[in-house]
Amino acid sequence: MTRLYQINGATLTPAKRKPLDLETKIEAWVADDLTLIGVDGFVIGRQIATDHGKFIDVLAMDEGGNLVIIELKRDRSPRDIVAQVLDYASWVRRLSTGDVHALALSLDLSLAKAYREKFGTSLPQTLNASHQMVVVASEVDEGTKRIIEYLSEEHDVGINAAFFNVFEANGQEWLTTDALLDQEEVKDRAVKKAQAPWSGYYYVTGGVEEDRPWEDMRQHGFFTASGKQFFTKRLDQLSVGDKVFYYQKKNGYLGYGIVTSEKVAATDYVLQDGRKLIDAVPKVYLTENSDDPDNCAYVVGMDWQKTVATNDARTFSGIFSNQNVVCKIRHQETVDYLKEQFDVKEDRA
């Protein structure tokens, strides 16, 4: 059970949990920032009417062009809300690409514009190849948790639960969020049937050159991410020996490498010559928020097998790119091109 305390000098004041009676506010918060529930996407609309005479609290779209149903528990029992969101999914799954466009137009939303503003690339031609569901609640009973886990882990149903808890102490309120399952894993299981098989290569990106100077990473053998845990936890996907292509936003692919060490705080990372990384690269992007594990920079060690300078980035029209810090590359044309450009031989991994 989550507990929260307010620090008052040398004493702790326990914060009391409040009932989840702020559904309208929470719906607005989620619609404004989908990362609160672990979803990387944008909102298509709120209170979306289905053909069943019901209304979906929030309907969103992820980077794959897939729909995400977000439903607040409100005053329904945990099992009732799971049944309700599954009913919504039975309607959403029948929406064709044309239907999704028509729905967006009826809401005065340009999907192409909204998608490009969020992800910086063109809207996929095929939409809603898969879908996901997120139930938002203060808690669900153990039986409901088992049902959600069973549907997701055994049958690849894209369903998850996000927990919002409100606490109060001395007139102040706090909101905490958590999830039953890792949303990225839920999504991967849900979409794998609609996707091409994984190539065996990972895509990683550090944003633009101003945020993550490529020469630092290239020279010292690392890759880094910082900010919210929504971004840095993606580094947990990488294990020693994994094969990686590095993409620089607004530029192209700059290198191919193999992971040599798993995620660690940037301030703790030690180079092969024994120096601390932050001594060799005393840059703000590695040291800011170093006392805050939720927002500090994290590093993954890399053996860069072949790299190019930023002014020689490798790309082509339609090449795979993604907003996620780490993800699997399933676009075979991109993989074939990158293997040729970076002289990747299968036996090198």
Predicted TM-score (pTM) of the model is 0.61
Please tell me the distance from the alpha carbon of residue 167 to that of residue 175, in angstroms, as a whole number: 6
Please tell me the distance from the alpha carbon of residue 260 to that of residue 240, in angstroms, as a whole number: 5
Dump pLDDT digits (tens) for 294-328. 889 999 999 999 999 999 999 999 899 887 899 89
The one-letter amino acid code at 307 reads: T
Dump pLDDT digits (tens) for 122-152. 888 889 989 999 999 877 889 999 999 999 9
Please tell me the distance from the alpha carbon of residue 50 to that of residue 257, in angstroms, as a whole number: 47
Question: Distance of CA 193 to CAs 153, 157, 222, 321, Å?
Answer: 14, 11, 33, 21
pLDDT of residue 164: 83
pLDDT of residue 139: 79
Burial class (CB in 10 A: 0-12, 13-18, 19+), 18: middle
pLDDT of residue 168: 81
Structure tokens at 274: 């024994």
Dump pLDDT digits (tens) for 186-245. 888 887 766 678 899 999 998 889 989 999 999 999 999 987 776 788 899 999 999 999
Structure tokens at 172: 């102040």
Name 323's Cβ contacts closer than 8 Å, sequence gap at least 6.
Answer: 40, 63, 118, 119, 120, 205
pLDDT of residue 349: 41
pLDDT of residue 22: 65
Contact of 42 with 60, CB cutoff 8 Å = yes
